[in-house]
Structure 1
Amino acid sequence: MLQSFMDIFMSLGSSVFIPIIIIILGLILRMKPGKAIISGLTIGIGFIGLSMVTGLMTDALGPAIELMVEKYGLSLSIMDLGSGTAGPVSFSTAMGVIVIPIAFAINILLVYLRMTKTFNVDVWNLWQPALIGIMVWGITGDFLIGVLSIIPSFLIELILADLATPFMAKFYGFPGMTCTHIMANCGLVLAVPLNWLFDKIPGFNKIDVNPEKIQEKFGVVGDPIIIGFVIGVIIGALAGYTVPKMLTLGVQMAAVLKIMPKMVALFMEGLTPIADATKEFTGKYLGGREVNIGMDAALVVGNSSVMSTSLLMIPITLLIGVILPGNKVLPFGDLPTIVFALALMVAGFRGNVFRSVIGCSIYTVFMLYGATYLAPALTTAYGLAGYELGSGLISYVSAGLWPNVLVVGITSILSVPGLLILTVVALVVLFYINRKSVKE
């Protein structure tokens, strides 16, 4: 019965069930019904608009990527299915049903104890802790151990969301909100120390390339439309397109960079009243606890530096995948949407595209090794969800996120004691980064 309800609920898609959650949250926060409904529907419209733009990007880049693979004779043994398949896989199992009440209960308790400032409403992206649970279930053969692994996975999500909050406010301009998308947040752990290191390198620390400064210095050449057009033409040339097709791809990428920020603005329009109501509610009923609304990385992918970096990383990721010793994953399915895996990294580099490309290239190396390591567990997870995959292994570039490798790796070595240790460590880290709130 519960599984049937969840199947129906998740089949609605994020453009419907996230607005439903926002409307319910608004009513709980004592917003007027009409205002709560308008906020929820506005966010739903933002999702639809964003899906249209990312669909354009995926449809345009997919054939170009496929031609690049064929043109240069690229061949590796593990197929990249793309992260877009992982959400449906996760929610098509009992693990996907269980993750929602577990995450909600943990989140409410930790907000009350002032051990996190994040309140996650991004139910869809709970597929990531759920997928870890399915992989653990697959490698151990024990469903309950898989369920247990969800707990440290979600705690890591909260840690990353709390750490991402200042970047969301200062760089992206979303005060009172954060990102609870594990895929987007993981790179911050590498970007921040790398940016500190780059600041210490003479000469290197003087290079600052971002669309705003390019436009300021070179005028129209730095406009996001021109940047998108040029990058699209370059990708088309690498794919061996004819001149008309190269130009078409250029215009399509220009459209993506121009339209994406307008779609993201709808999220801000819908979320601002919710954020304001949250502050008022927590001040009145939760002793003034600071609470940030946790949302999807869709909020930030429209940034021009993020999009420019992500488009440049498509051919770079393909090249790294081919030349990287020990890697067995051929980057393919994940490339058109790799923007979601790199979004917060760009904030860590303060929008500097030059630093972002270098940092994201280093990060890609780790992701590819992680994706190769997790391929057997991921293939088993897809099998448990009833997906027919043939005899080969599958993975995708962003499957190699360090939380995935950490939880699955510790479980494979230490089993339940390892998960308990990881859970305790995650709680200590949450307490440490939120200690000022605890002292108040």
Structure 2
Amino acid sequence: MSYILSFFNFIQDLGATVMMPIIICIFGIALGTEKGKSLRAGLTVGVGFIGLNLVIGAMSSNLGPAVQLMVDRFGLSLSVIDVGWPAAAAIAFASTVGMVIIPVCLLVNIIMLLTNTTQTVDVDIWDYWHFAFTGSLVAIVTGSQAIGLLAAVLNMVIIMVIADYTAPGVEETLGLPGVSLPHGFSGAYAPVAIVINKIIDLIPGVRDIDINMEEAQEKFGVFGEPIIIGSVLGMIIGAVAGYDISQVLQLGITMGAVLVLIPKMASLLMEGLLPISDAASAFISDRFSNRGKMYIGLDSAVGVGHPLTLSVSLILVPLTLAIAVLLPGNKVLPFADLAVIPWMFVLITPVVKGNGFRALVNGIIVLAAGLLISTNLAPLMTEAAVNADYALPSNATMISSICDGANPLTWVIVRLNDFGWIGIGIVAAVAVVLALVNRRRILLEAEELKTAQQA
């Protein structure tokens, strides 16, 4: 077992930019793609990920100082520190559940594929930390590592079903054919967005409001383009932060570049994935008549480039700080994870079908609720950090994060386990029912596809 764990720790340490090309290349060859094409596809995917990471890094490194100045300028003081997703991931992987999460989740994915309860081949193994995070908190609540691991598995099953369900929207709205996003953080907001969307549909007048980015670009011409929108929002954030004119302009240009470059990097990544996706579809079609369409599960970073996702996210950066101060019961000071707000919207954007008004309404609601969730989970996350020997920031008594500390699905799973075996039983029942409903949908889709091919 120690050798197996060491092997998966080695894979984890290599990172996505190294292992993703290897996995894609091997996957392509296994599906019958030519070796040269598979190699090129894998390397292209790797280049796409590096490009995405560089642009996202530029966004984070430029937004971070602006946010810090906002905090200092307006004298914001809240007792729980947002330490960001890298710290949350490190804490999750350092837990007992995290040590075994990669091989366990790979096994779960294989079982789900064999039983037709998912259409997604989840190669995004680094983001299994989201499931480990949930499991590590449940282990603290229950005092049982076994229940914690079970909770992590059930979390994955639920997210895999959500990924399948949202995959057509990801293809249509985000322009990612053959891709699903089984991301533990992004996926949790899709059901919330569906509910909020249904409620908006019931309100006369409000349901007719539609702010569409493509229509805005057509209406306003160059002033509706992502580069202009990003630059303007960046300058507004810089002005609120108290930057001088040169810094305001620099932040504006950087944010404009982010809105332009992220979609281009995602397109490069898709260039590598398309031949593998086509090969996977052909492989399944030739050998399995009851599998329907198959998707490659990727990090939701590939979907953050939609103009609506990035524009609404930038608007919500200063709004989130205001909400944090005004929201009764909140103790979390948003900081490190404000740059991950776009990840919240990756699957909200397809649900609202690109409607900017609905996306903004969703954003305000989920961020307000998320701050209360992260406040509630802060004691558990702090205890998990101490158990993992994570060094708390100076003068911090408790820590949390937006990703995954504000995750509504994580919160529901953790808090249900306050009721012991009844709680984990409820989570298990929900996961099994969702998996079976998904299986029925997959088989029906496969039958319809077979009938269409015969016709």
Q: Same fold (TM over 0.5)?
A: yes
**Counterpart in 2 of 1:271?**
273
Deviates most, 66-75 or 162-171: 162-171
**Counterpart in 1 of 2:408?**
402
5+ residue gaps in structure 1? Answer: none
**Counterpart in 2 of 1:320?**
323
The match for 1:280 among 282, 288, 306 is 282
Output the amino acid matched with 2:346: A
Q: Distance in 2 between matches of 1:383 and 1:342?
A: 31
TM superposition shift of 1:308: 0.3
**Counterpart in 1 of 2:387?**
384
The within-5 A match list for 1:115-134 is: 115-134=117-136
Q: Which runs of 4+ in 1 moved over 4 A?
A: none
Compared with structure 1, are the counterparts of its residues 124 and 295 closer, same or farther at alpha carbon in structure 2 (3 Å cutoff)? Answer: same
Q: Is the 8 A contact 2:81 2:400 kept in 1?
A: yes
TM superposition shift of 1:88: 2.8
**Counterpart in 2 of 1:419?**
424
Provide the secondary structure at the position in 2 that maps to 1:397. coil
Q: Is the 8 A contact 2:92 2:132 kept in 1?
A: yes
Q: Is the 8 A contact 1:149 1:419 kept in 2?
A: yes
TM superposition shift of 1:288: 4.5
Q: Distance in 2 between matches of 1:420 and 1:342?
A: 30
The within-5 A match list for 1:25-424 is: 25-290=27-292, 291-389=294-392, 392-398=397-403, 399-414=405-420, 416-424=421-429
Provide the secondary structure at the position in 1 that maps to 2:336. coil
Matched, 1:429 2:434: yes
Q: Distance in 1 between matches of 2:338 and 2:426?
A: 35
TM superposition shift of 1:269: 0.6
Compared with structure 1, are the counterparts of its residues 88 and 43 closer, same or farther at alpha carbon in structure 2 (3 Å cutoff)? Answer: farther
Tell me the TM-score normalized by structure 1.
0.95
**Counterpart in 1 of 2:452?**
none
Q: Distance in 1 between matches of 2:204 and 2:442?
A: 39
TM superposition shift of 1:245: 0.9
5+ residue gaps in structure 2? Answer: 448-455
Aligned-residue identity in percent: 39
Superposed CA RMSD in Å reads 1.7
Q: Distance in 1 between matches of 2:129 and 2:214?
A: 35
TM superposition shift of 1:142: 2.4
Q: Distance in 1 between matches of 2:132 and 2:49?
A: 22
TM superposition shift of 1:293: 1.3
Q: Is the 8 A contact 1:155 1:423 kept in 2?
A: no
Q: Distance in 1 between matches of 2:107 and 2:68?
A: 44
Provide the secondary structure at the position in 1 that maps to 2:185. helix
TM superposition shift of 1:261: 0.6
Output the amino acid matched with 2:417: T
Q: Distance in 2 between matches of 1:61 and 1:225?
A: 17
Tell me the TM-score normalized by structure 2.
0.92
TM superposition shift of 1:383: 2.0
Q: Show CA shifts across 1:374-397 (max 9, x none).
A: 111111222222212266111012
Q: Distance in 2 between matches of 1:283 and 1:104?
A: 23
Q: Distance in 1 between matches of 2:440 and 2:313?
A: 35
Deviates most, 119-128 or 13-22: 13-22
Q: Distance in 1 between matches of 2:356 and 2:86?
A: 25
Compared with structure 1, are the counterparts of its residues 337 and 98 closer, same or farther at alpha carbon in structure 2 (3 Å cutoff)? Answer: same
Q: Distance in 2 between matches of 1:60 and 1:248?
A: 9
Count of residues in Structure 1 that have an aligned counterpart in Structure 2: 439
Deviates most, 321-330 or 201-210: 201-210
Compared with structure 1, are the counterparts of its residues 205 and 411 closer, same or farther at alpha carbon in structure 2 (3 Å cutoff)? Answer: closer
